[in-house]
Structure 1
Amino acid sequence: MQAGIFGTFNEYFSNSLSKKMKDRTRQAVLAGRFPWKAPIGYLNNGRKDGANIEPDSKRAPFIRRAFELMARGTHKKSDVLKMITDKGLLTNRGKPLSAQTFQQVLRNSLYAGWVTLPSDPDFSPVRGLHQSIVTQEQFDCVQTILSGRKLSAAPKRKFNPELPLKCLVRCEACGTPLTGGFAQGRTKKYPRYWCRKSGCRTVKLAAQELETEFLGLLQQLAPDPKTVSEFPKIAARVWTEKQGDTQKQITRLTARLDEQKKLRKELRNKFLSGSFSDSEYNEAKVEYDAEIAVIEDELRTLDSQRNTMDVFVRFAELLLMDVARAWQIAKPEQRQRVQNLLFHDGLQYSPESGILNRSKSSLFTMLEKVSDKNGLLASPTGFEPVLPP
């Protein structure tokens, strides 16, 4: 009986203590403070008043960079994680972030300046006292992309480079897109295409045979002289349009770089005047140096893209004259773009006649439409700058 009494008392004490801790945590969050261990990118500063976490000068720039890359919608999440890991982002234990932890980072509104109470799903986020690492706009954009409500330019569908003509070529007998796979030979597996429709199976051949015929078809394609003469103008204009956003980014980043350098200079002046101690100065300088390094790295990347227009125009013109070569050297995902531009309505295959091109729409047809004076005002859909590998 005595054991039962002590057990009841211990349970009551534990519950009471737990309730007090929860109440204290809630009050801290309502005050805009973060009453837990700081996540990667932040450090606990131990202050009893005001913000009790602050950006980690070593890791915050990498977190900011990750959000910036994700917000563009041009990179897969796994690629962004690899980029910032390669740049040097590691946990406090010196290990790379796992994919699960990185997902939690991207979903954590703390980085945008908010504090939440995970134990209470009905709790409304509170504006934190701490300094945010990313803007609200960037955070919202990333949430939209992660939720799948905005198409990312990064390819989502896997493309098998050994079977590039799946779906593009249809069975001439029944009109069903060909599928593909690997047949087991004596020593290895061989890629093949076949009609997927049950009861038909009119088409079945080795991948090498179909793709050799396809390359032969590409070699027969050639634009008319007028299209060739106008193409450099079209390519240059499309490049300029695509780089418009790049120039805006360069302008924004340059302004931010100038601001960071100005702040770093002011920091040094105050240090020389005795306003800061050595430790305070060094800690702040490390943060500014890291931020400036990240901005300069991004500016170099954008500048190299901006300065390659002439290369792109010459390369694009060369590919227009040799479409077969363009398809051969293209990356797997780019092959799909080339195929769709050339044969908008697809192709058909007959065992007797081989590949049949009954497509009424092609890249050359679109280029002919935009090569006149008025057509130069709009670029053909799907025509985008693709630099040589």
Structure 2
Amino acid sequence: MESSGQRTAILYCRVSSKEQIENTSLESQERSCREYALRHDMHVLGIYIDKGESAKTADRTEFIKAIGFCTSKKNKVDYFIVFKLDRFARNQDDHVMVRAKLRQSGTELRSVTEPINDTPVGRAMEGMISVFAEFDNNVRTERTRSGMVERIKKGVWVWQSPLGFYRPSKGSNIVPDPQTSPLIHLAFEEFAKGTYTYQTLAEYLAKKGLRTRQGKPPCAQLIEKTLKNPIYSGIIDVWGDRYQGTFEPIVSESLFAACQEGYRGKARFAHRSRRNPIFPLRRMTICGFCNRSLTGSLATGRKGMKYPYYHHHKQQCPKAQFIPKETFEQNFVEYLDSITPDERFEKLFREIVLDIWKNNYKNLDADNERIRKEIQRLEHERQRIFDLHRSGAYSDEEFVEQKAIVNQKITAKRCMIQEKHVEEFNMEEVLDHCFRFVRNTAATWLRLERQYDIRLRFQKMIFEQNIPFDGKKFGNADLSLVYKLNQEYDGSKSSLVALTGKSWNRLLVDLSKWNEFAKEAEPFLIGLSEHDTLALAA
């Protein structure tokens, strides 16, 4: 039975998954730790063992239990014993943090094979040993990666075999799996036809018998990942470089490339034909009667000519009809003209916005500059804390406490800048960018005919939701804020002042979006003259 004056200890042992080597096996670690406790008259309260766990992080099951046991108020643990300090941690930050936590609970760290104790020399030794443990771990990691890179350069796939491949023996290169590789090849062939989405292709392959390593049917995400992975065409694409594999590919490079064509233009898990520059208003326009989106397609005439029409997906709606593209889009241009703010609105809007902004945010730049200088000062203070800890002026507990305080202050200051960043811009320039597009809404939409993606974004800048069409004209759309204010004010300055002030925070966000959009879209408008716009309209 433990005497009242006997010191107490717990033992912690660890080996990595392949580290059952002489002098560091679990049995020898435990035996050495027990002998150490016996020599120093320590009563062992428990032993904690991690099998196959890395010391690079503190996320170890038994290690966490051991720390919890020591820090529990129910227990009185004098010493935490390890065989070597690299069993405790191979990361300097983890070592300092966990060490401080143990000390707060009155528990000291001891190593069987290394001379660490509470003396200045012992503490210095502990610090140096933990640093070298981290250095040793980093060197091993670098050597492992270097070895992997050399094998990859030789065309060897060094990770787990992707679906459709297998590794005949340990250390060998991958080869196509005779059971699953034909189905992977089929996936590429079918997708290249353009008739499948990721979801429908997953369902088709599941019916054909394709299963994951866990025996489950493939999902759309897995199919997308597979079709985008160049490993199936014999290319190893890792760490920013591409290497030619020396294993047999499942598909040819041409078939793989066919499945990548236009990928950036496809919506995730969407049909490949959904993005069609011929019909910019499809899916964004809805029927005012049935609330279903309209689509577009080409009809073939008797002489083989193609004629573009907008229409319902299905013809069950009583208002369903085929509307020539030219007629439909002319109606849209007329609607854009009807919602475009006039010169009076623009003038009043600019005056009001600039007046509010200057009154509320004229000192914003100065405030942010002051905050940035405070952050710089705090960062210097944090560096000084590290220097004091290295010199021994700060104990581990003091170091952790002071570092946490400074980090908290730095985070708070950075948040203050983030809260202000929405308003931190040149408002006059922002308004110029906004009305560069808003004052000529219809003309700008026409000028963007050859820039399909920018045109779609412009439509979303104007409309917050889908645009209703009653069969003859557009109307009653949910407009973005600048257009909405133009619709709601009664022509007087006082009305616009009230509306602007009421929606000020939303308006700042809206103007910020216009500013970002204008900077991206303006380069595409350069070189398009007014003559080009009139030609497009004609």
Larger radius of gyration: 2
Q: Same fold (TM over 0.5)?
A: no
Q: What's the TM-score bracket when you normalise by the shorter of the two chains?
A: 0.3 to 0.5
TM (normalized to structure 2)? 0.33
TM (normalized to structure 1)? 0.42
